[in-house]
């Protein structure tokens, strides 16, 4: 995809956004459903899988490791090979743009007697892998190349050692990679994290039959998985992605007269920091009809426009909204007063340096923004000027966040390349225009 021509798109000031829609399946849960299905025996049937580039790359990797993946109507069926049963791939494993696919799969491969060369696009090839490779090396993974970036060749082993690992950065990807490796170790593997990160791995592993327990230890979260695990294929229903829904919610919050409901969205509290913040800013955000689907809480999220005020977003909230800061920054430009977002170190190592890309996009559109260390401050002035072109740096969330910015600004906002939106949310433009957003080719 990185080779295709850049595709610019322009967002114009729009009338009220009104409607009831469904956004595609959660990306985190979709990756996990495919991988856990591969590690289970029997068939795992997944409905609502996110059919976007990142997840489809994971599906291809699962196939390359010896598992059947077929689409039967709206359901994906994975014929798993059991923990320890994956087979030697015959070609490079290509993760495209996806850090989640790549890092979690490193944990899976670690527990198998196979050697694999992992590759990705230019964005993924810049992202840090040592955070995952360090603990996996301690467990017995061999990293053939002396690098910390893709392309990397790694060799797993069927005799991994269990470890206790305290994560140096708040990262569900690191936690998940270690827990997945722990499935094939002999004995108990424990991950300790200071701030709770998204817990889909824990929930879904338990659902597939792994022995897993979570407890507080000295104020930290300890998650322990038993090794020599056996997983059994189970049906998985993937709820709608709250990180994708955030773009629609943000648009409804900033465009006067809007009233948008997004159905069946995952509202697991390790993922809802953005909605909490939107409420604190004064938007009307309701979680209607709360229910459970596939072991996860879901609700219909209704957002209505309101006058917004700037707020301080504490660092402790960052893990629960880490992917939503670019779009929150766009919303903050519409508030009265400053919005101060703290604890954003991890934003620098996403699909792009999102801290820098967000600040640059705001500045290009006449919005005051400053970075002090890991803090981003945005000056809200009610209606932003707009009129700028935003550089997306192969980053889907930067592209979508700045298209949202343009829906209420005085002048249109141009995004230089929306190609990468397909990595997580191919239906984005269609859903937005269906609600009344004016997104047009240049």
Asked if 45 and 33 touch (Cβ cutoff 8 Å), the reply is: no
> From the centroid of its chain, how far is CA 375?
21
Residue 29 CB, shortest distance to ligand S3P, in Å, is 8
Task: Order across the sheet with 413-415: list the strands.
Answer: 389-390, 413-415, 9-12, 438-440
| Whole-number CA gyration radius for the chain | 21
Residue nearer to ligand S3P on the CB measure, 141 or 172:
172
Among 392, 428, 426, 351, which residue's Cα sits nearest to residue 173?
Answer: 351
Residue nearer to ligand S3P on the CB measure, 249 or 306:
249
Residue 171 CB, shortest distance to ligand S3P, in Å, is 4
Residue nearer to ligand S3P on the CB measure, 176 or 261:
176
Round to whole Å and give the CA distance between 89 and 70.
Answer: 18
220: number of Cβ within 10 Å: 14
- Whose CB is nearest to ligand S3P? 28
Residue 260 CB, shortest distance to ligand S3P, in Å, is 23
Q: Which residues contact 379 (CB under 8 A, 6 or more apart)?
A: 333, 338, 367, 368, 369
Residue nearer to ligand S3P on the CB measure, 196 or 437:
196
Q: Is 295 left (phi over 0), alpha (psi -120 to 50) or beta?
A: left
Residue nearer to ligand S3P on the CB measure, 326 or 386:
326
Among 113, 106, 112, which residue's Cα sits nearest to residue 128?
Answer: 106
Task: Using CB atoms within 10 Å of the CB of residue 430, give its burial: 0 to 12 exposed, 13 to 18 middle, 19+ buried.
Answer: exposed
Round to whole Å and give the CA distance between 290 and 304.
Answer: 18
Longest CA pairwise span in the chain (Å): 61
**Of 94, 199, 300, 323, which is the active-site residue?**
323
259 is known as an active-site residue: no
Round to whole Å and give the CA distance between 262 and 244.
Answer: 10
Task: Return the H-helix or E-strand segment holding 43.
Answer: strand 43-47
Q: Is 336 helix (H, G, I), strand (E, B) or coil?
A: strand
Residue nearer to ligand S3P on the CB measure, 55 or 405:
55
Residue 179 CB, shortest distance to ligand S3P, in Å, is 11
Among 245, 114, 219, 210, which residue's Cα sits nearest to residue 166?
Answer: 219
Residue 153 CB, shortest distance to ligand S3P, in Å, is 22
Residue nearer to ligand S3P on the CB measure, 39 or 255:
39
Residue 131 CB, shortest distance to ligand S3P, in Å, is 8
Which residues are at the interface with ligand S3P (CB under 6 A)?
28, 100, 171-173, 176, 197-198, 322-323, 346
Residue 351 CB, shortest distance to ligand S3P, in Å, is 8
Q: Give the residue numbers annotated as catalytic, written as ranges.
A: 323
């Amino acid at each position: 995809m990185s080779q295709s021509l850049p595709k610019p798109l322009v967002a114009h000031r729009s009338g009220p956004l009104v409607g009831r829609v469904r956004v595609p399946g959660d990306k985190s849960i979709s990756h996990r459903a495919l991988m856990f299905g591969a590690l289970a025996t029997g068939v795992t049937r997944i409905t609502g899988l996110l059919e976007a580039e990142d997840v489809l790359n994971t599906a291809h990797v699962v196939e390359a490791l010896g598992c059947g993946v077929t689409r039967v109507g709206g359901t994906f069926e994975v014929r798993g090979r059991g923990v320890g049963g994956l087979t030697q791939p015959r070609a490079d494993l290509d993760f495209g743009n996806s850090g989640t696919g790549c890092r979690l799969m490193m944990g899976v491969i670690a527990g198998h007697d196979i050697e694999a060369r992992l590759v990705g696009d230019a964005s993924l090839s810049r992202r840090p892998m040592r955070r995952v490779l360090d603990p996996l090396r301690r467990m017995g993974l061999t990293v053939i190349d002396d690098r910390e970036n893709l392309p990397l060749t790694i060799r797993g082993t069927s005799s991994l050692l269990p470890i206790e690992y305290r994560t140096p950065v708040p990262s569900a990807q690191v936690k998940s990679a270690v827990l997945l490796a722990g499935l094939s170790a002999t004995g108990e593997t424990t991950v300790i994290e200071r701030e709770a990160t998204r817990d889909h791995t824990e929930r879904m592993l338990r659902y597939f039959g792994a022995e897993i327990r979570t407890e507080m230890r000295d104020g930290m979260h300890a998650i322990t998985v038993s090794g020599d695990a056996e997983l059994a294929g189970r049906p998985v229903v993937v709820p709608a992605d709250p990180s994708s829904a955030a773009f629609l919610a943000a648009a409804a919050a900033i465009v006067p007269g809007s009233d948008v409901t997004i159905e069946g969205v995952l509202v697991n509290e390790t993922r809802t920091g953005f909605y909490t913040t939107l409420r604190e800013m004064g938007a009307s955000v309701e979680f209607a009809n709360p229910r459970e689907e596939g072991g996860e809480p879901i609700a219909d999220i209704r957002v209505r426009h309101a006058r917004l005020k700037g707020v301080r977003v504490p660092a402790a909230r960052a893990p629960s909204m880490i992917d939503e800061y670019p779009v929150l920054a766009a919303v903050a430009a519409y508030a009265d007063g400053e919005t101060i977002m703290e604890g954003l170190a991890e934003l620098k190592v996403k699909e792009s340096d999102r801290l820098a890309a967000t600040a640059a996009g705001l500045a290009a559109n006449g919005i005051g923004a400053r970075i002090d260390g890991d803090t981003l401050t945005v000056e809200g002035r009610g209606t932003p000027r707009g009129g700028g072109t935003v550089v997306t740096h192969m980053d889907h969330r930067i592209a979508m966040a700045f298209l949202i910015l343009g829906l209420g600004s005085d002048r249109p906002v141009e995004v230089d390349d929306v190609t990468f939106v397909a990595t997580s949310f191919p239906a984005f433009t269609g859903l937005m225009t269906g609600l009344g957003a004016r997104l047009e080719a240049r």
